[in-house]
Homo-oligomer: A and B are copies of this chain.
Amino acid sequence: MFTDQNLTLMTDLYQLTMMQGYYHYGKKDRTVVFDLFYRDNPFSAAFSIVAGLDQAIEYIQNLHFSPEDIAYLQSLNIFEADFLEYLKDFRFTGDIDAIPEGSIAFPREPLLRVKAPIIEAQLIETALLCIINHQSLIATKASRVVWAAKGDPVMEFGLRRAQGPDAGTLGARAAVIGGCIGTSNVLTAQLFDVAPKGTHSHSWVMSFDDELTAFRAYAELFPDMCILLVDTYDTLGSGVPNAIKVFQEMRDAGVSSKMYGIRLDSGDLAYLSMEARKMLDEAGFPDAIISASSDLDEYLIRDLKLQGAQISLWGVGTRLITAKDCPSFGGVYKLAAEDDGTGVMEPKIKLSDNAVKITNPGVKKIIRIYDKQTGYLRGDLIALEDEIFDESQPLEIFDPENTWKRMRFKPGTYTLRELLTPIFRGGKLVYSRPSVMEIQQYCKAEQATLRPESKRLVNAQTIPVDLSQSLYDLKQAMIQKFSAEE
């Protein structure tokens, strides 16, 4: 777990060799702007949820080369002595702006914008991508699972199948941001002040002489979180009847439970939950919870609901914590502008034969457009930083790939919001870091600005992300210029 760790060397070797190059050629202090963005939403979704900023902040704050780090780099025999000397006092001194955690984001939008001396901006690329890519992936996946559960609480249960301790611990953090009510991972609960969740396992049942004794023992000790796992031997034949017996004994003894019920972890969850529901209802326990956990994801939860499954609490593991159907988030980090030597930020562009891979040049901001009446998100506009947009004026936006596709907004029908928020200024943190549960609330509000059509699991309605006229013109001019030079 990387909290408070020095991850300075957690970077690609080439960042360090390039830093050496910038140092050697006297370019290290040239100010540059890098954009961290992605090109495609994961899961064929219409949006992503941004997460990981808080760990990115800690990473930046802890950034320094320890004497051991410098000795190690020296041992590689590829770095010059004056460069290694310089690293001793290395700190991040630049500016970072970011879309706040829990926000809805779309392809090509800078999730993070770094303005710093090139030698600093280069170093931090890899760790920033690693942190933001990972947590944005899991937060987005979680939002889909929670959406499919239609208001039922979802618990994150994936630690044992996560891709290592951070993936399990920070992934659970991201899952809570995306809407999970809690996690089985006690370390996540402790570090981020979220609810730890859990029941008991098959080995508990097997460690007693029989299932009923095991259930009684658990109920006696944890009457207020008495969810009994009923599938160790025979779900409907012994598990549910024994659970009912224990619930009856609790009731007879006058024990009132805040939360009680059963957990299904194998078999046909639709059938078993419906049968168990009948048995519990007939025994006089209509408020007994039926929870389930067995290789679930958003698609299975949707299908189980369609099949009438009587499950009201979901434990989701492997497929959430690994984002199994799409286990990587394709964030990249590209040069957008560079000081021309006189203090003016000159736009930079990366060309490609593949049109969607051509970057957007210049120092940019993101303007989000809402319908004033409904509050729904209508579209985003990527613009140059010094452009001014005035809600009292008509607004026209257009698709940068199909420029005849235009949307017009009359004054009074729309509101605007700028997404990029100052995080660091001159290396100093200027951002007040919200708690994970605050981020979860914000994320919920963010998702409420999306029409249901954009939250569908399949064929979700995309949201337009347009370029301002000025940015579009700049980009076209730069493409023309490079093409003419060829």
- Please give the residue numbers on chain A whose beta carbons come within 8 Å of chain B beta carbons, in ascending order: 1-2, 5, 7, 9-18, 20-22, 24-25, 27, 30, 32, 34, 69, 72, 76, 78, 118, 122, 125-127, 129-131, 133-135, 137-138, 157, 159-171, 184-187, 189-190, 196-204, 206-207, 217-218, 221-222, 224-225, 232-234, 237, 266-267, 318, 322-324, 327-331, 333-335, 338, 348, 350-354, 357, 482, 486
Q: Provide the bound-state CA to CA distance between A118 and B469, in Å.
A: 68
Residues from chain B with a CB closer than 8 A to the CB of A218 are 21
Q: Which of B78, B127, B186, B221 lies in contact with A24, CB distance below 8 A?
A: B221
| Number of chain copies forming the complex | 2
A144 to chain B, nearest CB (A): 16
Residues from chain B with a CB closer than 8 A to the CB of A122 are 203
- Indicate if the CB atoms of A233 and B9 lie closer than 8 Å: no
- Indicate if the CB atoms of B167 and A207 lie closer than 8 Å: no
- Indicate if the CB atoms of A221 and B21 lie closer than 8 Å: yes
Q: Which of A133, A207, A318, A333 has the most CB of B within 10 A?
A: A207
- Indicate if the CB atoms of B1 and A5 lie closer than 8 Å: yes
Q: Provide the bound-state CA to CA distance between A162 and B127, in Å.
A: 10
Q: Provide the bound-state CA to CA distance between A187 and B237, in Å.
A: 54
A16 to chain B: closest residue by CB: B186
- Indicate if the CB atoms of A161 and B12 lie closer than 8 Å: no
Q: Provide the bound-state CA to CA distance between A118 and B206, in Å.
A: 12
Residues from chain B with a CB closer than 8 A to the CB of A118 are 207
- Indicate if the CB atoms of A335 and B206 lie closer than 8 Å: yes
A218 to chain B: closest residue by CB: B21
Residues from chain B with a CB closer than 8 A to the CB of A1 are 1-2, 5, 7, 10, 166
Residues from chain B with a CB closer than 8 A to the CB of A201 are 14-15, 18
Q: Provide the bound-state CA to CA distance between A233 and B352, in Å.
A: 7
- Indicate if the CB atoms of A10 and B185 lie closer than 8 Å: yes
Residues from chain B with a CB closer than 8 A to the CB of A207 are 22, 27, 30, 32, 118, 335, 338
Q: A12-B159, A25-B217 are in contact. Are A318 and B328 (CB under 8 A)?
A: yes
Residues from chain B with a CB closer than 8 A to the CB of A9 are 186-187, 190
Residues from chain B with a CB closer than 8 A to the CB of A327 are 163, 322-324, 327
Residues from chain B with a CB closer than 8 A to the CB of A157 are 12
Residues from chain B with a CB closer than 8 A to the CB of A267 are 353
- Indicate if the CB atoms of B164 and A163 lie closer than 8 Å: yes
Residues from chain B with a CB closer than 8 A to the CB of A353 are 267
14 contacts between A and B (CB under 8 A): A2-B2, A7-B165, A13-B189, A22-B207, A25-B217, A76-B196, A130-B160, A133-B161, A138-B163, A162-B163, A163-B327, A164-B171, A206-B335, A206-B350
A204 to chain B: closest residue by CB: B18
Closest 6 CB pairs of A and B: A13-B198, A164-B166, A14-B198, A166-B166, A129-B160, A327-B327
Q: Which of A21, A25, A222 has the most CB of B within 10 A?
A: A21
- Indicate if the CB atoms of A164 and B18 lie closer than 8 Å: no
Residues from chain B with a CB closer than 8 A to the CB of A186 are 9-13, 16
Residues from chain B with a CB closer than 8 A to the CB of A162 are 130, 134, 163
A161 to chain B: closest residue by CB: B328
A165 to chain B, nearest CB (A): 4
A213 to chain B, nearest CB (A): 10
A217 to chain B, nearest CB (A): 6
Q: Which of B167, B169, B217, B329 lies in contact with A161, CB distance below 8 A?
A: B329
Q: Provide the bound-state CA to CA distance between A34 and B78, in Å.
A: 48
- Indicate if the CB atoms of A184 and B69 lie closer than 8 Å: no
Residues from chain B with a CB closer than 8 A to the CB of A482 are 233
- Indicate if the CB atoms of A126 and B159 lie closer than 8 Å: yes
Q: Which of B13, B32, B196 lies in contact with A184, CB distance below 8 A?
A: B13
Residues from chain B with a CB closer than 8 A to the CB of A318 are 328, 330
Q: A21-B218, A198-B17, A217-B25 are in contact. Are A2 and B160 (CB under 8 A)?
A: no
Q: A130-B164, A207-B118, A322-B163 are in contact. Are A14 and B190 (CB under 8 A)?
A: no
Residues from chain B with a CB closer than 8 A to the CB of A13 are 184, 186, 189, 196-198
Given contacts A1-B7, A163-B166, A324-B328, 17 further A-B contacts (CB under 8 A): A10-B159, A12-B159, A12-B160, A12-B184, A13-B197, A21-B204, A22-B207, A76-B196, A129-B161, A130-B161, A130-B165, A133-B160, A134-B167, A163-B163, A233-B482, A267-B353, A324-B327
